[in-house]
Amino acid sequence: MTRPELASCTVVSVVAHSLLKVVTRRHSPNKREHSMKVSPYHSSNPSDPDVHHDHSDCPTGQQIPERNKVSGTGGFPRCKQCIAKG
Ligand SMILES: [Zn+2]
């Protein structure tokens, strides 16, 4: 007797695994002491936090897929992590 729940469970773990690979992908070997300041950008996805970023290495900003990245502040306040970076 087959269990359909088991099959969907496998799919979820495969997806999670490939996501993990993307997240742990290494950047250039050159270590930068200072974070890169860039022109403001935000996400066009309404489910993302209503903030804008101005650092290229902001962990929240890096989660925005390239297709959702919009330049400008979008009228949103600055991201707390970007503020902390200076
Ligand atoms: Zn940010």
> In angstroms, what is the span from residue 59 Cα to ligand 1's centroid?
7
pLDDT for residue 70 is more than 60: yes
> In angstroms, what is the span from residue 9 Cα to ligand 1's centroid?
33
Q: Identify whether the C-beta of residue 64 lies closer than 8 Å to the C-beta of residue 37.
A: no
More confident residue, 36 or 83: 83
> In angstroms, what is the span from residue 80 Cα to ligand 1's centroid?
6
> In angstroms, what is the span from residue 47 Cα to ligand 1's centroid?
16
pLDDT digits (tens, 9 = 90+) for 19-58: 666 555 555 555 555 668 999 999 999 999 999 999 999 9
Prediction pTM value: 0.60
Tallying the residues shown for the chain, one arrives at 86
> In angstroms, what is the span from residue 23 Cα to ligand 1's centroid?
17
Nearest to 75 by CA among 49, 47, 42: 42
Distance of CA 9 to the CA centre of its chain: 25
